[in-house]
Amino acid sequence: MERRIWTLATITLALMLAMTVFSPRLFAEGDLNGKNEKSTEQYIQQLTYTFYLLMQNYVDETDPEVLFDGAMSGMLDSLDDPYTVFVQDLFLQDLNDTTSGQFGGVGLYIATEIYDEENPRGRLPYVRVVSPIEGTPAYKAGIHAGDYIYEIDGETAEGYTSDEVSDKLRGRAGTSVNVTFLQEGGIKYNVDIKRAVIEIPTIKYETIDEIGYVRIIEFTPYTAERFEQAVRQFLKSDCTSLIVDVRGNPGGLLDSVVDVADYFFRDGVIVSTKSRVESENEVFEAKRGVLVPEEWPVAVLIDQGSASASEILTGALKDRDRAVIIGSTTFGKGSVQQFLRLDDNAIKMTTARYYTPSGVNIDQTGIEPDIPVEGHELGEEEFESYKVLIEENRIGVFVRNNSTPSPSEIDRFIADLAKEDIILDDYYLRVMIQNEVNRRLDNPPVYNLEYDDALKRAVEEVRK
């Protein structure tokens, strides 16, 4: 009883504190006649009354923590914002692990989205893979950006939030988790993924003849420094142009991407953020001076796995005519979140949206390329063949048995597939095989010009 009274007192104090902290700013944005402020007080009174009513009169003795967690989750869910969520204490440790640069898990960046097997615009929520982290167990298992998490250890993941999925995927390094993934068109495939300590990579770079090629994997505290090292090496190598690849880049730190973008401009806007609280609006401008020579042609590679901070860089370079954008439309995350601690829990809340230099917010729409380079378009017959390959993991099995397959072994494998009426475009099949081979290498090549159409087009453009 004493614990219940103390918990209730804590909750009441938290509500009073929330009103003290947020009222002067947020309530001031309401109607001037005070109507919103009055109704807010009434809602809080009713919420408090209902809480006490359930504690004292519900047929079964009720845990106040359960009521509190349910009320908080329901309140934030009503905003219909997948990035505004109630974060319980078990997730906060995950957050600390992630921001420190390494954590235990399978290596997926995820976000809550809506998917329906029969109607993609329906209302069944599943968590979607934004991108696998390069070199991690999920990456090596062949998980793709855009796949949906359908089941975890045999239990449906329908209705799970990204935090709930994250909690189930994480665990002690060396243990395994069984996950069923869902792709557009109803394709399902199942994999056992062994958890590992995940280290967040940031940049890889190489030269393609006279072109500097840099792939930004994620924007971390070290990205700007590594990007500067790459460009200085390109300058020493007599490069005359630059390709920046942010495909599969899920984002990262705002300060990091601003610092990278700053290397392209002498001055002017890189990105701006706008909030309901006017004093928290910010405009980020270039300040440090140009590192990438202004006469260098620049191309940026994007895809549906390019999100958040990678879209900020893309938007700045596109809006200010500093680069040609090549690939497919980006993910579309144009909002800013903050964590607000509540004792052992927290609220992750969308507090602002960011805007490209031309004043565009790309949330839920993404950035379209100047030059579209889409993947192979599957016909109906090809789709059925593709479905068999994915669901039966035929390519994965082939590469597992032939870690570095020779051209003749690949030719024979494709011929064997054709005998089973599994027919796909020959080039597309070879791309899938090469990607599977690279995923399994400890040190995969930085780029593969033979099987990367978007990169081929970027090379053509900067050489013009």
> Residue 291: which pLDDT band, with cuts at 50, 70 and 90?
very high
What is the mean predicted confidence (pLDDT) over 284-298? 95
Convert the pLDDT of each residue in 390-407 to its tens digit. 999 999 999 989 988 999
CATH architecture, domain 203-340+351-372: Alpha-Beta Complex (3.90)
What does pTM read for this prediction?
0.76
pLDDT of residue 370: 98
Q: Which of 134-148, 213-227, 428-442 has the highest mean pLDDT?
A: 213-227
Q: Is the pLDDT of residue 375 over 90?
A: no
pLDDT of residue 126: 83
Convert the pLDDT of each residue in 231-246 to its tens digit. 999 999 999 999 999 9
User: Residue 297 phi/psi, 5° resolution?
Assistant: -65, 140
Convert the pLDDT of each residue in 407-422 to its tens digit. 999 999 999 999 999 9
Distance CA 6, CA 10 (A): 6
For residue 447, what are the CA distances in angstroms to 101, 144, 409, 433?
24, 18, 23, 15
SS3 of 260-308: HHHCCCCCCEEEEEECCCHHHCEEEECCCCCCCCCCCCEEEEECCCCCC
245 and 230 in contact (C-beta within 8 Å)? no
pLDDT of residue 280: 81
13 Cβ contact list (under 8 Å, min separation 6): none
pLDDT of residue 112: 63
Give the active site residues.
308, 319, 333
pLDDT of residue 73: 85
**Pick from 204, 225, 202, 200: which is nearest to 213 by CA?**
204
- Give 217's DSSP letter: -
Q: Mapping DSSP to helix (H, G, I), strand (E, B) and coil, where does residue 352 land? A: strand
The distance from CA 180 to its chain's CA centroid, rounded to whole angstroms, is: 19
> How many other β-carbons are positioned within 10 Å of the β-carbon of residue 320?
18
Q: Mapping DSSP to helix (H, G, I), strand (E, B) and coil, where does residue 353 land? A: strand
pLDDT of residue 89: 58
Roughly what angle, to the nearest 10 degrees, separates helices 426-439 and 394-401? 60
Residue spans of the domains in the chain: they are: 2-78, 89-199, 203-340+351-372, 380-463
CATH of domain 89-199: 2.30.42.10
